[in-house]
Amino acid sequence: MRPFTLERASDISSAIEAFKAHQQSQFIGGGTNLVDLMRANVVQAEHVVDIVGLPWHEISEREDGGVRIGSLVSNADVAWNPLIEARYPLLAKAILAGASPQLRNMATTGGNLLQRTRCYYFYDTATSCNKRNPGSGCAAKAGVNRIHAILGASESCIAVHPSDMCVALAALEAEVRVVSDAGERLIPFADFHRLPGDSPEIDNNLQAGELITAVELPKQGFAQHFSYIKIRDRQSYAFALVSVAVGLHIEGGVIQKARIALGGVAHKPWRRPEAEALLENRSIQSIDARAVADLILEGAQGLSFNEFKIPLARRAIGRALEEALGQEALS
Ligand code: SF4
């Protein structure tokens, strides 16, 4: 780890100012990923701005029926919050499927969105990696690519986003509230993370010096019909090979709204709105889960070690849909 200076920000403007005053700055919240990256010299920071003192530690109900989660609320406090458990159980379940209790106690909501890929080569500075060192190549393409992408990858990078929480937030169609010295803006969750394209070093659409202040959840939480299925090598403390978040709103046996997001398959939580449309305005007895899965996975491409993810994802989508439909589909 290289030497760096640390500054504790006491308010938003001083945090942004401190960040901008140095060439290589990083904000730090829980630090559960950043500290590892700095130790391994994957990220080199000259100045670290600690934002834990900023006022984003609350979960509150909004006037429009939605819920605001402050960006510094820990993952554990989100998952065990009574409001989240009651209205957004999909989010609680996804969070509890990730990491370990210790990590969930430290990791923040904003930090979860910003965590970097767990591609082995990204963390190994002796190998080529376009995300860590743009233009150097991608060791994963001809290497061990078992955990890598089957959708949305590019010639430059085949990494996947590692979060469970973000898969649920994609299905819930959350928004990300950010602030900078130019003011505030809201980013729809689908536009927050990006595909690698020719610039895999950029994970998301945050601008330099922008801070996440909150994640905004819409009123619709799919509390009655939801599922989060995570398939991984170990039962705990392992990233998803494939995960599926499903939220359904059903009235009178008809699906009014359907949202499906996949994790572990792409550089961002993967959604295919056309596949969700196949489920909407249909009676629960008449849905064709295979057609839905085929459409979500259209264009999926396996690599030497991860071909298995395609049939695995297909079956996981079917199972997640069954689980979300629950007893209602069987009655
Ligand atoms: Fe780097 Fe992406 Fe290739 Fe992994 S997949 S080695 S993160 S460029």
Reported as a single tens digit per residue, the pLDDT across 54-91 is 999 999 999 999 999 999 999 999 999 999 999 999 99
Smallest Cα–Cα separation from 131: which of 109, 111, 149? 149
What's the whole-model pTM score?
0.97
Q: What is the pLDDT of residue 296?
A: 98
Question: Cα(153)–Cα(281) distance, rounded to whole angstroms?
Answer: 32
DSSP category for residue 284: G
The rounded Å distance from CA 10 to ligand 1 centre is 36
Cα 256 from chain centroid (whole Å): 25
Reported as a single tens digit per residue, the pLDDT across 205-247 is 999 999 999 999 999 999 999 999 999 999 889 999 999 999 9
Reported as a single tens digit per residue, the pLDDT across 175-209 is 999 999 999 999 999 999 999 999 999 999 999 99
Do 267 and 161 touch, CB atoms closer than 8 A? yes
Q: Tell me, using a 6 A CB cutoff, whether residue 159 lines ligand 1.
A: yes
Question: Cα(91)–Cα(168) distance, rounded to whole angstroms?
Answer: 5
What percent of the chain clears pLDDT 70, i.e. is strictly above it?
98
Question: Cα(173)–Cα(168) distance, rounded to whole angstroms?
Answer: 9
Q: Tell me, using a 6 A CB cutoff, whether residue 138 lines ligand 1.
A: yes
Q: Tell me, using a 6 A CB cutoff, whether residue 145 lines ligand 1.
A: no
Candidate of 121, 128, 145, 202 to mutate for ligand 1, largest count of ligand atoms within 8 Å of Cβ = 121
Do 122 and 131 touch, CB atoms closer than 8 A? yes
Q: What is the pLDDT of residue 328?
A: 58
> Residue with structure tokens 């330099």?
208
pLDDT at 330 over 50: no
Q: Tell me, using a 6 A CB cutoff, whether residue 200 lines ligand 1.
A: yes
Q: Please state the atom number of ligand 1 nearest to the C-alpha of residue 137.
A: 8
Written as six digits, the tokens of 101 are: 């209790």
Residue of minimum CA distance from atom 2 in ligand 1: 157
> Residue with structure tokens 């085949």?
158
Q: Tell me, using a 6 A CB cutoff, whether residue 143 lines ligand 1.
A: no
What confidence tier does 1 reach under pLDDT thresholds 50, 70, 90? confident
Q: Please state the atom number of ligand 1 nearest to the C-alpha of residue 145.
A: 5
